[in-house]
Amino acid sequence: MPTPAAPPDPPGHQPSTGLRADAERNRESILAAARRLYATEGLGVSMASVAREAGVGKATLSRRFATREALITAVFSDRMDGYAMAVTGALADPDPWHGFTGYIQAVCAMQAADRGFADVLTMTFPAAKALEDRRTEAYDGFVELIARAKATGHLREDFTPEDLVILLMANAGVIAATGDDAPDTWRRLVGHMLRSYAAPGTAIPPLAHAPTPTTLYRAMIRLGHPRPRS
């Protein structure tokens, strides 16, 4: 007896593999759009703006990333990995003071490369466990790095881990204010701060050139006429 033929697929039917492929394409489009917007505008970008940039509906965005924290975690997980690895590299330096200064410069450079990441390092996201675990790992390593640098006599005894948070907040502000017109200004800030952290007589990294009056003036004008948020 012949086997009955399977009923035809309804109009518009897609195989499950096709649905999975579409879902993955949507996810990658959302992540790429969020990376672009966060990198140039910071974390103040709305979820609706991300959906528009990705070319998907808000419902599609919500299915892939139910919360802002979930999207931020997915976008910045690799950068937080790099943040934690930077501490590991600094601890491996046989010269703790050199490891300390190199770590400060590396982390501030990460901020300068991505405004969204500059924001991530100055905020906390209790619901984003993966991000916060990496932040804790980096913090614990930095505490050890501080102790080693102080033991050499090169890092001031009154330096605390909170001083790094203050620096990252200040650096994020400088990057946001001058990134378009004087993008290397953050290097000058970091150089001055490293000098303030050094104990008397310690060799310090060279100070970067100051921005020109013209570029700072342009940055000040831009601050007075901010671009509208997406």
If asked whether residues 40 and 147 sit together in one domain, one would say: no
If asked whether residues 71 and 105 sit together in one domain, one would say: yes
Q: 42, 66, 90 — which closes off a domain?
A: 66
If asked whether residues 25 and 61 sit together in one domain, one would say: yes
pLDDT at 228: 54
Which residue ranges of the chain lie beneath pLDDT 70? 1-19, 225-230
If asked whether residues 95 and 178 sit together in one domain, one would say: yes
If asked whether residues 21 and 123 sit together in one domain, one would say: no
- Kindly state whether residue 7 falls inside one of the protein's structural domains: no
Which tens digit of pLDDT belongs to each residue from 163-193?
A: 999 999 999 999 989 988 899 999 999 999 9
- Kindly state whether residue 4 falls inside one of the protein's structural domains: no
Query: Ramachandran region of residue 2, left (φ > 0), alpha (ψ -120 to 50) or beta?
Result: beta
pLDDT at 1: 46
Q: For the chain, how many structural domains are there in total?
A: 2
Q: What is the CATH number of the domain that holds 183?
A: 1.10.357
Query: Ramachandran region of residue 83, left (φ > 0), alpha (ψ -120 to 50) or beta?
Result: alpha
If asked whether residues 96 and 166 sit together in one domain, one would say: yes
Which tens digit of pLDDT belongs to each residue from 125-144?
A: 888 888 889 999 999 999 99
pLDDT at 9: 47
If asked whether residues 44 and 125 sit together in one domain, one would say: no
Output the CA torsion sign for 148, 169, 197, 76.
Answer: positive
Instruction: Write out the residue range of the structural domain in which residue 41 sits.
Output: 16-66
